[in-house]
Amino acid sequence: MKKEWLVKTLAIGVVVLFIGAGVVSAFNINSVNESKPMNNGNTLYVGGSGEGNYTKIQDAIDNASDGDTVFVYNGLYVESILINKSIFLVGEDNHQTVIERDLAGPTVTITTGFVTVSNFEITLSNDDKAGVSLTRINQPVSIRDNYFYHNNHGVFLDSCNQNVTVENNTICCQRDWSRGVYCLSGNPVIRNNDIFQNWWGITFSSDSRGYAINNTIHDNPYYGIMSIHAEPVLVGNYIFNNQQGINSRCNDRSLIEGNIIVNNSDAGIMFGLVGEQPWCDPRISNNIIFANTVGIRCYDSTETVIGNNTIACNAQYGIQCYESDPTIRDNRILENGMYGIYIFQGPNDIIDHNLIQGHQTGIYCTMADTVITNNTVTRNNIGIDVGACHPPIKYNNIMRNRGYGIYYDYYLGYLDVCENWWGAADGPSGLGPGSGDKIGENQIYFSPWLSEENPDAYPRFNVSGLPPGQPAQPTGEIKGKIMTRYEYVTSATDPENDLIAYGWDWDGDLVVDEWTQTCQPGTQVSLMHEWYKGGSYEVRVKTMDMNGLESSWSEPLRVRIRFSFIALFMYVLEMVFGWFSNFFLI
């Protein structure tokens, strides 16, 4: 009776699996050929206590025919599996039905099409091999609902087309030099997997045009996704807590679209390498790139388009480019620490229709032929800082920047900044005659200027949703002394339960001095801070969600810091001790 129930259940499940393989993706994946399993195939059993059940999986496969199902009961099976027939290999439970390699090489090798492997724990592949290995497969194969653990690579794919799908697996290799999924070439589909604690989550190489769609890729020590000499489609992935979210290099033309890339310790997206030929030109659009150290970093690229992204709360740079000429268009670049956009030696950069807000410097360009038009550059310390070049800067809204709207520190030639709006009808201040943003320090043409704000100088896409709630008033010490660290605590909610980051203002000027990494709304967060001057301070905090929507400021906490000779002496003593320690260690 138990076997009859299993046969019926597996037959229905198998049909559903292969119908699913024929779905047409919204991202221009061609229709996958439907498999045609023999629905009248037999079911062979491995393990368990049934009469005639096999004790080894390979024995059952060897005695199966095309269209048969091999069902494996819970247990540990120490063997290396070769699947050279069109069968369905199904485990009872993917944490209790365990295939452990017994020879050098892959744990499971597949050499033919119309195969499904599902519901196993697959472990201990060796010798730079994978838990499951496929080469030159063009017919439907489904690797799904498995748990890959402690393999050199979870799944290895070479010259497999998009009929091959790797989906709904948990892949955790926990080995040096491991890859969760290694796509050497071809264009398979990798979707809806949880991929973590591998050196690299997914690797595409050798002209691969594979698809990584809707995966969760996190806590890999190096790259969430690495693409080298490839053109993959990377869509809808959630990539967090890696060193770099996406690393793209060497003649790479990836499509990077609709991903959420947060809390990676270096760059959210990094492409190109110093000294390589400038052929690394991914298309980066509609992503949320939030709370990394750098949002996007690029080297030696020629035709990259960075458009319609929200790039916010990254600790140092929103976009950082060296010897590249990207088109940076229609982005919301918000509160990214030091620089919103940093351009060094860009031959033909285009920066237009961006909102660039809340940085030490909104746009910095030097030794670059950059065109800066139709942007809104606001609430930065310096709006645009120009050195060693003369970029055309026109039709921008440059307003409410605290220090300079434009700072020009190059002494050779004039900088033309005519036809911009400076936040006041009477023009810029500084070198100009008006009350708008300040311009300086060298030779700048600024007249005529726009007499009103340019309504077209904004990103041409809308962000929907509700902002986070106002954070609670910070709590912590209200009386202290200089050069002593104190802890302050707050929390906030979000009506849509988006991840949020907290921006702290330590000196009462309503400018964020420090952003935290993201966390779930409602989580209590704390941050340490010390002051170096005595006086009265107002500590406030606000939040920003992943869509770049901001809350209002919290109520202030008033803090009184007094000067202390003892604290100053201890600080100097600590500095001297550290210097001597480093000197003698050297």
Residues 433-456 pLDDT 10s:
999 999 988 789 999 999 999 999
Q: Picking from 92-96, 291-295, 426-430, 482-486, which range would have the lowest pLDDT averaged per residue?
A: 482-486
What's the average model confidence in pLDDT over 37-54? 82
What are 67's two structure tokens?
């269209």
196 and 222 in contact (C-beta within 8 Å)? no
Report which of 500, 549, 553 is spatially closest to residue 310, judged by C-alpha positions.
549
- Tell me how far apart the alpha carbons of residues 320 and 349 are, in angstroms, rounded to a whole number: 12
Q: Output the domain CATH number for residue 487.
A: 2.60.40.10
Domain check: are 13 and 149 in the same one?
yes
pLDDT of residue 470: 97
More confident residue, 312 or 174: 312
pLDDT of residue 76: 96
pLDDT of residue 571: 67
- Tell me how far apart the alpha carbons of residues 155 and 219 are, in angstroms, rounded to a whole number: 18
Order the strands of the 557-562 sheet from edge to edge: 479-481, 557-562, 535-545, 500-505, 514-515
117 and 14 in contact (C-beta within 8 Å)? no
pLDDT of residue 9: 37
Domain check: are 458 and 479 in the same one?
no
Domain boundary among 324, 355, 377: 324
Q: Which percentage of the chain shows pLDDT scores above 90?
A: 72
Whether the per-residue pLDDT at 492 is higher than 70: the answer is yes
What's the average model confidence in pLDDT over 136-163? 95
Say which residues have a Cβ less than 8 Å from residue 158's Cβ, sequence separation at least 6. Answer: 134, 135, 136, 184, 185, 186
Label the pairing between strands 244-249 and 267-271: parallel
What's the average model confidence in pLDDT over 380-391? 93
More confident residue, 124 or 127: 124
Domain count, the chain: 4
Tell me whether residue 235 is in a domain: yes
- Tell me how far apart the alpha carbons of residues 488 and 531 are, in angstroms, rounded to a whole number: 13
Domain check: are 157 and 278 in the same one?
no
pLDDT of residue 471: 97
Tell me whether residue 67 is in a domain: no
Domain check: are 349 and 217 in the same one?
no
Number of neighbouring beta carbons within 10 Å of residue 522: 12
Domain check: are 154 and 23 in the same one?
yes
Q: Encode pLDDT of 290-330 as tens digits.
A: 999 999 999 888 788 999 999 999 999 999 999 888 999 99
Domain check: are 16 and 139 in the same one?
yes
Domain check: are 79 and 186 in the same one?
yes
- Tell me how far apart the alpha carbons of residues 260 and 287 are, in angstroms, rounded to a whole number: 6
Confidence tier at 260 by pLDDT (50, 70, 90): very high
Say which residues have a Cβ less than 8 Å from residue 287's Cβ, sequence separation at least 6. Answer: 256, 257, 258, 259, 260, 261, 269, 309, 310
Number of residues written out for the chain = 586
Q: Encode pLDDT of 524-547 as tens digits.
A: 999 999 998 889 999 999 999 999
Tell me whether residue 577 is in a domain: no
- Phi first, then psi, for residue 90 (nearest 5°) are -130, 130
Domain boundary among 220, 242, 264: 242
Report which of 330, 354, 322 is spatially closest to residue 340, judged by C-alpha positions.
354
pLDDT of residue 249: 83
Confidence tier at 569 by pLDDT (50, 70, 90): low
Domain check: are 446 and 310 in the same one?
no
**Secondary structure of residue 522 in the 3-state scheme:** coil
Whether the per-residue pLDDT at 79 is higher than 70: the answer is yes
Tell me whether residue 571 is in a domain: no
- Tell me how far apart the alpha carbons of residues 401 and 122 are, in angstroms, rounded to a whole number: 57
Domain check: are 271 and 189 in the same one?
no
- Tell me how far apart the alpha carbons of residues 74 and 46 are, in angstroms, rounded to a whole number: 9
Domain check: are 315 and 230 in the same one?
no
318 and 341 in contact (C-beta within 8 Å)? yes
Helices (H), strands (E): how many in the chain?
3, 58
- Residue 538 belongs to domain spanning: 475-566
- Tell me how far apart the alpha carbons of residues 472 and 475 are, in angstroms, rounded to a whole number: 9
- Tell me how far apart the alpha carbons of residues 289 and 236 are, in angstroms, rounded to a whole number: 13
Tell me whether residue 132 is in a domain: yes
Tell me whether residue 65 is in a domain: no
Domain check: are 305 and 353 in the same one?
no
What are 545's two structure tokens?
């969600």
Q: Encode pLDDT of 200-249 as tens digits.
A: 999 999 888 999 999 999 999 999 999 988 899 999 999 999 999 999 88
Q: Encode pLDDT of 507-519 as tens digits.
A: 999 999 999 888 9
**Secondary structure of residue 149 in the 3-state scheme:** strand
Tell me whether residue 470 is in a domain: no
Tell me whether residue 353 is in a domain: yes
Q: From residue 39, how far is each of 13, 68, 113, 239, 293 by CA, in Å?
A: 11, 8, 16, 39, 53
- Tell me how far apart the alpha carbons of residues 295 and 264 are, in angstroms, rounded to a whole number: 9
Domain check: are 493 and 519 in the same one?
yes
Cβ-count burial 293-302 (b if 16+ within 10 Å, e if not) = bbbbbbbbbe
Domain boundary among 242, 274, 293: 242
The count of C-alpha atoms lying within 13 angstroms of the C-alpha of 114, restricted to the half-sphere facing its C-beta, is: 16
Cβ-count burial 93-102 (b if 16+ within 10 Å, e if not) = ebeebbbbbe
Which secondary-structure segment (H or E) carries 569?
A: helix 565-585
Report which of 413, 416, 379 is spatially closest to residue 395, judged by C-alpha positions.
416
- Phi first, then psi, for residue 578 (nearest 5°) are -65, -40
- Tell me how far apart the alpha carbons of residues 224 and 246 are, in angstroms, rounded to a whole number: 6
Whether the per-residue pLDDT at 14 is higher than 80: the answer is no
